[in-house]
Amino acid sequence: MQCLVAGGYTALSLSDLHGLWLRGATPPSRAVVITFDDGFACLHETAAPILARLGLRASVFAISGYLDRMGRYDADLGIPARPMLARSQLQELHESGIEIGSHSVNHPDLRSLSPAGLRYELERSRGDLEDLISAPVLGFSYPRGLFDRAVHDAVREAGYLWGCSTRPGLNNRQADHFTLRRAQVGRQTDQSAFAKLLRQGAAPGTLASARLREKLVELVATLGGRDPMDLYTRPLRRSVAARWLNRA
């Protein structure tokens, strides 16, 4: 965060950025959006004081059904349970100026749900969060970055104004506002890698691999008469191109 400030970056909320795009206005030349998924308790304990001290805005996508609980939804990935935000802590984050968005009720693979189950995850999470913070919840982040055309369209139909994916890269006004890209920052991201993320949205190798994957998805989808969005996060096994895609 100190690197952002020293580099002259302006941290916007997603509401700020979306509003600029809708008005046809140009964001600051060095604009970033800081996002957090899930809603771990450390947001309140560690991240929020740093953001406040440096005057940086951010957007948090909370799993509404896990507030005041331990997060055990990633046990299948071998990730240990972690304490999640309390409802009172989420309210405090909102009152401090951090934007609150939805990350579903239970963090499922939304593609696997019935239409009714999908509506529940989208609409119940939004309603519960809005009741808690007494403010509109406008953005959504796909659990584990998984979505297809039906999920993409359902997010829009549920009244959200944008959706965040985990696809690497940068965004501009022409981007699909329901598949916004993000640069993932982790424990191993040093300052050199972080500088590349700010310029490109991903490490060079990761970005090249992602672009290759997307082009192969488009090719396979076109040849098969499918929607690329329905194939991107599903394994394709029936062609040589599909095997390349999986390795990419």
239 neighbors 218 (Cβ within 8 angstroms): no
202 neighbors 11 (Cβ within 8 angstroms): no
CA-CA distances (angstroms) from residue 169 to 132, 152, 197?
A: 33, 19, 8
pLDDT 10s digits, 168-207: 889 999 999 999 999 999 888 888 889 888 888 877 777 7
As averages over each run of 10 residues, the pLDDT of the chain (248 residues) reads: 94 95 92 96 96 96 97 87 97 97 97 97 98 98 96 97 93 93 89 88 78 85 86 57 43
Q: What are phi and psi of 82, to 5 degrees?
A: -135, 150
- The domain segmentation of the chain, as residue ranges, is 2-202, 203-248
The pLDDT assigned to 74 comes to 87
Among 1.10.10.10, 3.20.20.370, 3.40.50.300, 3.40.190.10, what is the CATH number of 2-202? 3.20.20.370
The pLDDT assigned to 235 comes to 53
**Nearest-5° Cα angle at 197, 148 to 99:** 65
